[in-house]
Amino acid sequence: MGHVPVETRELAYQTWRECGQNLSETHRKMNGELGYVISRQTLHEWKTRYDWEGRAARAEAEEKHLAEATSDEALLVVLLKQKKKYEEYFDSLELGKIDNQAVYGYNSILKTIVDIRPKGDAAEIDRPKVFLENLEWIARALKDTDPEGLKVLARNFDHLTDKFRSECLNA
């Protein structure tokens, strides 16, 4: 078995995984579709020498872990924690101070939380109620931290609620 480029062995490994870890299927695909000339014995030697089974098991475990970590439920837990941190931050602001970027981030988190809630709960979520509750919270925070900001919110209240209503109907 002469020198074989690492890329060829890597392609063989990836093909083996795609073929359900079946050497016969891997051999057929590598020598057919992919245009290589590699014996089944060489594939078997690579599988053994480079511990393809162990590597595949580790890769599958990592893929599973990544899928679980990025599931809607996992993201929801992280978002709820972040929401709480924002609320604690807002509570800590000195009277008359407001952090517009934090308010924007907080609103984005709230929207994402509503968007990724489990679909089975969709009928239970009263989006207008959640919107109004959050808007009320923002108004209370503005009242304490930035009375001028509260005036801006009051001036734009109808526009905000109309925009929300429109987006909810189109969603």
Residue 31 near residue 37, CB atoms below 8 Å: yes
Q: Which residues contact 127 (CB under 8 A, 6 or more apart)?
A: 114, 168
What single-letter DSSP state applies at residue 93?
A: S
Q: What is the pLDDT of residue 2?
A: 62
Q: What is the pLDDT of residues 110-128, one digit of tens each?
A: 888 888 876 554 456 677 7
- The model carries a pTM of 0.44
Which of 93, 140, 89, 133 shows the shortest CA–CA distance to 110?
133
Q: How far apart are CA 16 and CA 112, in angstroms?
A: 39
Question: Domain spans of the chain?
Answer: 6-69, 72-170
